Chains A and B, each alone.
Chain A
Amino acid sequence: MNPFDDSHAQAVIDNAILSDQETLPRTDLEALQLHRLREVVARIQNVPFYRDAFRQSGVTPDQIKSLDDIRRLPFTTKANLREHYPLGFLAVPRDQVVRYHGSTGTTGRPTFVAYTRNDLNVWTELCSRFLVAGGLRPEHTAQVSFGYGMFTGAFGLHQGLENVGAAVVPASAGNTPRQLLLMQDLQVQVLICTPSYACNLAEVANAGDIDMDRFPLRFAHLGGEPWTEDMRRHIERDLRIFAFNNYGLSEIIGPGVSGECAYRVGMHFQEDHFLIECLDSNSLEPVPEGEPGELVITCLSKEAMPLLRYRTRDIATVTSAPCPCGRTTHRMSRVIGRSDDMLIIKGVNVFPSQVEEALLRVEGTAPHYLIEVDRPHIMDEVIVHVEIRPEDFSSEMRQMQRLRDRIDREIQSVTGIRMEVKLVEPQTLERFGGKAKRVIDRRREKGLI
C-alpha cells in the first residue's frame, strides 16, 4: 500500500493548524529555508569539525546561493558526535546552554545534545504543532508515559502539552496497572508513549476489569520507535482511540521533526526549521521521490548545537504531494528500516557492540554471544546467549547464577535496558565462516517492524 495514497484520506478528527508557518506558500518557505541555511552555515564556523570540513572542501558560506547547494556541505554522523564528545559540536558559549539531553551511543558512551533558551522555545512550539494537528485541545488531560530524564521524548511532549494548555500527568514509564488507574480516575483523554507501550496498555486494560465503554482515553501520540499500520489498528481497536505517529531524534531536536495531521497520510516535516534530504545510503545521491532512502536532516534554526546534513540512518520515503489538511510541507512515511545494525528495543536504541562491551567487563565469558530479539506478544523481549569459557564452567548453580547476574547488571548499565541472559556451554553458538552471527531479530522475520 502506498502510504501517501490519499484517495481514501479522510480527517479522523477536526483539522486544526497551530501556526502560519505550516502553510507558507512553497516559494516563501524555501526562501525562509535558504535564509536560515545561510545563517546557520555562518554560525557554525566556530565549530572546529565544520570549520575544518569547510576548509578541506574549499566551500565558503557565501557560495550557498540556493537550497541545492546543500549538497556541497559536509555530512555529520553519530560517529562524528562521539569523536567530539562531550560538547565539541557546541556552537554557543556554554553559559547560553540551559538544558542538556542525551541519547544512547554505539559504544556505551552516550552522546549529548544542548539547548539554548530559544532552542527550548522552538522545540516546545514544534511539539505543540503536531499535538494540535493530532487533536490536542487546551481542555484535555494528557498522560506522559515516556520515561522522563535525559531521553528527549518525555520533555518534548511535556513542554508541548503545557504550551497548548492541557493538564499534564507526568506518569513516566512503568507500572502499567497504576498508569491505567490514573487514566480512569483522572479522566485522561490523551496518551503519550511508545507504540509498543500503548500495545501493552491495551493488553492489560482489556485483560483487567476495566469497563472499556467508559474508558476516557481518546487520542494517543506515539513515537520513539518504528511501528506498523497493523499495530496502529490493534491499538486503536483495543483502546478505542485515534493514534497519531510522530518522528524525531535527539541529535536534531527530539520529537518534533515531523508528525501526522488529521488525515494521517504521512508525517509533515517542520520544514521551517529543518531541511530534509532523502538519499541513497551508499551513493549519497538523492533517491527519486517516493523511493525509500536515508533521511538526512539539516537544522536551520538551532542555536546550541546545529547539525548539518545529519545522517539519521532511518530509511523512509518522502513525498511533496499536497495534503488535504492544507499544510504545504513535505511528508515522510513511517520509518521502514535502518541503514546500520542499530536495534530499537522497547524504544531504546541498542547496538550489538554495546552488549559486547558489557560482556568484556565480565570475566569468565567468551566473546561469543547472540542477541535474540522477539516480540512474542506485544512487548519486545531480548535474550542474550553468552558462551562461557570452559575453565569458568562450574557445576555449582550458585556460581553460575552469580556470573549471570553480573552480566545482567553490566548489560543494563551499558544499554539501559534489561535483557534476559542465558549462559550456554562453550562452542555451542553457531559460527558462520568463522564469524559469529550476532543478532537474530524475530520481529523482522514476523513482519512486526
Chain B
Amino acid sequence: MNHHNGQPNAFQSVSSPDYLPPNQLRALQLQRLQAIVRRAYEHQDLFRSRLEERGLTPDCIQDISDIAKLPFMVKTDLRDTYPFGLFASPMDEIVRLHASSGTTGKPIVVAYDQHDLDVWSNVMQRTFAACSVHPGDIVQNAFGYGLFTGGLGAHYGAETLGATVIPISGGNTERQIMVMKDFGVTAVCCTPSYFVHVIERARELGVDLKSLPLRVGIFGAEPWTSQMRQHIEDEAGIKAYDIYGLSEIIGPGVASECDAQNGLHVFEDNFLPEIIDPTTGTPLPDGEEGELVLTTLNKFAMPMIRYRTRDITNIIAEPCSCGRTVRRIRRISRRSDDMFIIRGVNVFPSQIEAAILAIEGTLPHYQIILTREGGLDQIEVQVEITPEVFSDTISAMEELQRKLANSIEHTVGLRVKLHLVPQQTIERSMGKAKRVIDRRQLAE
C-alpha cells in the first residue's frame, strides 16, 4: 500500500524553490520585492500616501534590507479600507474572495487573481511535500471549507500535488473516523485540538488509529505544544507536522515544518519574513524573539507589505538537516495582543462584547473561559445577570441564554457554552474583570 515508507523525505521537484542557493534566493527576493512595492505603490492608495508622507518612492528599494524603510501594515488597515481598498487588480481579474471576521463584526476581505491562486496551490503543494505527502496519498481534509482559507487552501494544494482529496470539512467526528478507516486515508489535515478529540472518540468507538494506514497529520490554524504533538504521534501512530499561514497573507502555505520537525520553513520565494520588536518596531537580527512581519513577494490582487502578524517567534537561519535552504521560524506559541484562536477561528474579546451588547443593550460583566475537554477546545462565556434582564420564569431566562449564544455565534461564528451567573460572581482585579481565562495550557 505505502511504497513511500523507505524514503519519507524524497525530493519532489515541486519543492525545488525550497533548495535554492541562498544568493540566488536573495536575488529573486529583491527582484520580486521591487516589483511588488511598485505594484502596491501604483494600486494601493493607502500604501502610496504612506510612502509619500515619508518622501519615498519604490526606487528606495535597492537592497533587501531597505525594506526597513517601508511602513508597516496592520489588521486595522484592512478594516479601514474594506472592502476593495487594498485590491491591486481590477475586479474582472479577481477570481476568489475570502473573508475572516474582524473586531467590529465587519469581515476582513482578501482577494486572489488566477496567478495568486496558482501561487497558493504551489505553496500548499510544497507544504504537503515537506510533510512527506506524495501523489497517490489519500488526504482527508477536515479543515473547515468556506470563507476560512484553511479548507480550500489545503484542498487545492493536495489536489495539485496529485493526492486524492476527501473534502470532509469539519465536524461529525464519528463520520471522520469511519471515513479514515473505510478509505484507507493516509494523511489528515485539521486543527491539532480537533485531532486530539478524534483520538479520544476513536478510542471510545474501539477504533485503533495505529492499525490504520494513516501516516501523516498536518496541523495548523492554532497554537499547540510539543506535548500535544507527542501525544498525537504516540496515540495515532502518525507523524504530526505544524503548518503556518494567515488569510491576510495568503491563507495556509506561508510556512511548514519538514521531517526534522524543528521550526517551520518559510516559502521565502513568495514571502519575506522579518522579526521586529513589537513595541518599537525595530527589526531584530535572526535568532532574536519578536513579532513576525511578513511581506508578500508574489501576490498580485492584494499585496501586503510588512504586515504585522502579532505572532511572536524568531527566525532560525541555520541550515536545516532536510537540506532546504529557506529559513525557518520557530513554532508560534503566543501573540502580542489579546486575540485568541479557538478551533482555528480568530476571536477578539471585543467581538463577544459587541454580541452581548446587541442583546442586552448595556454591557454586563462577562468572562470568556477557554478549556480543552477531550482534546477539543471549548469556549464558555459567563454573563452576569442584571436586574434589567432578570425574569422570574425559567422560559424567559432560557430564551435570554439562547439569544446571547446565538448573537455570539453570529458575530464570531462559534457556538459557545453560555452561562448566566449571579452578580458579582466574576472576579475583578482593580475593578476590571479579566476578560479571557485560557485554561488550555498552551505555553510550552
Interface residues of chain A, those whose CB is within 8 Å of chain B, are 85-87, 94-95, 97-102, 110, 112, 138-139, 141, 147-150, 154-155, 162, 165-172, 175, 177-178, 181-182, 185-187, 413, 416
Contact present for B95 and A172 (CB under 8 Å):
no
Residue of A nearest to B163 (CB): A98
Contact B82 A172 (CB under 8 A): no
- Please, how many angstroms separate the alpha-carbon atoms of A182 and B146 in the complex? 13
Q: Please determine whether B413 and A175 come into contact, CB atoms closer than 8 angstroms.
A: yes
Cβ of A207 to closest chain B Cβ, rounded Å: 15
Expressed in whole angstroms, the minimum distance between the Cβ of A108 and any Cβ of chain B is 9
9 more CB-based (< 8 A) A-B contacts, given A149-B169, A182-B99:
A87-B183, A98-B162, A99-B164, A139-B91, A141-B91, A150-B167, A165-B95, A187-B91, A413-B175
B107, B145, B163, B409: which contacts A170 (Cβ < 8 A)? B145
* Across the A-B interface, the 9 shortest Cβ-Cβ residue pairs: A172-B146, A148-B145, A149-B169, A86-B182, A185-B83, A100-B166, A167-B94, A169-B97, A139-B92
Known: A167-B96, A413-B172. A178 touches B410 (CB 8 A): yes
Nearest A residue to B173 by beta-carbon distance? A413
Give residues of chain B (159-183) contacting chain A, Cβ–Cβ below 8 Å: 159, 162-169, 172, 174-175, 179, 182-183
Give Cα A99–Cα B141 distance, bound, in whole angstroms: 11
Residue in contact with A166 in the complex, picked from B95, B167, B183, CB distance below 8 Å: B95
Closest B residue to A100 by CB, please name it: B166
Question: Which B residues form the contact surface with A (CB < 8 A)?
Answer: 82-83, 91-92, 94-99, 106-107, 109, 111, 136, 144-147, 151-152, 159, 162-169, 172, 174-175, 179, 182-183, 409-410, 413
Q: Are B83 and A86 in contact (CB under 8 A)?
A: no
Interface of chain B, helix or strand or loop or mixed? mixed
Please, how many angstroms separate the alpha-carbon atoms of A99 and B155 in the complex? Answer: 10
A178 to B182, CA, bound (A): 37
Q: Are A99 and B165 in contact (CB under 8 A)?
A: yes
Inter-chain CA distance A172–B165, complex, in Å, is 19
In contact, B136 and A95 (Cβ under 8 angstroms): yes
Least CB distance from B407 to A in Å reads: 10
- How many Å lie between the Cα of A291 and that of B132 in the bound state? 57
* B residues in contact with A98, CB < 8 Å: 159, 162-165
Which chain B residues border A187 with CB–CB below 8 Å? 91
Q: Is the CB of B97 within 8 A of A141?
A: yes
The listed residue (B95, B106, B152) touching A167 by CB distance below 8 A is B95
Beta-carbon contact of A101 and B167 below 8 Å:
yes
Name which residue of chain A comes closest to B409, CB basis: A175
Most buried by B among A150, A165, A167: A167
**A165→B93 CA distance, assembly (Å):** 8
Whether B167 and A170, one on each chain, are in contact in the complex, defined by CB atoms closer than 8 angstroms, is no
Please, which residue of chain A has its CB at the minimum distance from the CB of B162? A98
Q: Are B98 and A175 in contact (CB under 8 A)?
A: no
Q: Measured between alpha carbons, how far is A162 from B183 in the docked complex, in Å?
A: 29
7 A-B pairs with CB atoms under 8 Å apart are A98-B163, A99-B164, A99-B166, A141-B97, A150-B168, A165-B95, A181-B107
Contact B92 A138 (CB under 8 A): yes
Given contacts A148-B169, A149-B167, are A168 and B159 in contact (CB under 8 A)?
no
Q: Which of A100, A166, A169 has the most CB of B within 10 A?
A: A100
Cβ contact within 8 Å between B152 and A170 = yes
Bound together, the chains give a CA A169 to CA B109 distance in angstroms of 10
When distances are taken between beta carbons in the complex, the residues of chain A under 8 Å from B175 are 110, 413
| Chain B residue, CB-CB nearest to A181 | B107
**A143 to B296, alpha carbons, bound, how many Å?**
26
Q: A150, B169: Cβ atoms under 8 Å? A: yes
Q: B148: shortest Cβ distance to chain A, in Å?
A: 9
- In the bound complex, residues from chain A placing their C-beta under 8 Å from that of B92 are 138-139
| A171 touching B169, Cβ below 8 Å | no
Which residues in A have their C-beta under 8 angstroms from that of B163? Answer: 98
State the CA gap A101–B99 with chains docked (Å).
Answer: 25
A155 touches B95 (CB 8 A): no
